[in-house]
Amino acid sequence: MNRAQALAEFASFGKQKDEAISIIVASTINNQGPIYVLTLITVLDVLTRCQADEIDLDDLEMWANVIESRSDIDYSAVEGVIYALSNSEQMGNLDKSKVARLIELFKA
């Protein structure tokens, strides 16, 4: 798995997420800009899986924090939802009802 594949695996909470994290951590970030684009479809899938208890709320918040801190992930299309998930100080604690509201908001 190369770095681009690892970023895609991490961003989609794939089955090989742990291996992807190891690859991402081991690789150096260069200033070539984003090599992975996070889409609304992927975010909605992750949120839906969280709502179905496949992804823990703490893991979801950590996921959003990592995405927000990566220069090699372009999340501009979903910046609002990533901000809401990663900033519990401003947005309030993350719970299942907030995840459900985000799903409804972004499905529309």
Q: pLDDT value at position 65?
A: 92
CA distance 68 to 35: 14
pLDDT in tens, 95-108: 899 999 999 988 86
Is the pTM of the predicted complex or chain greater than 0.75?
Answer: yes
- Give counts: helices (H), strands (E), the chain: 7, 2
Q: pLDDT value at position 31?
A: 60
From residue 32, how far is each of 9, 36, 68 by CA, in Å? 20, 12, 17
Nearest Cα residue to 42 out of 67, 71, 72, 70: 67
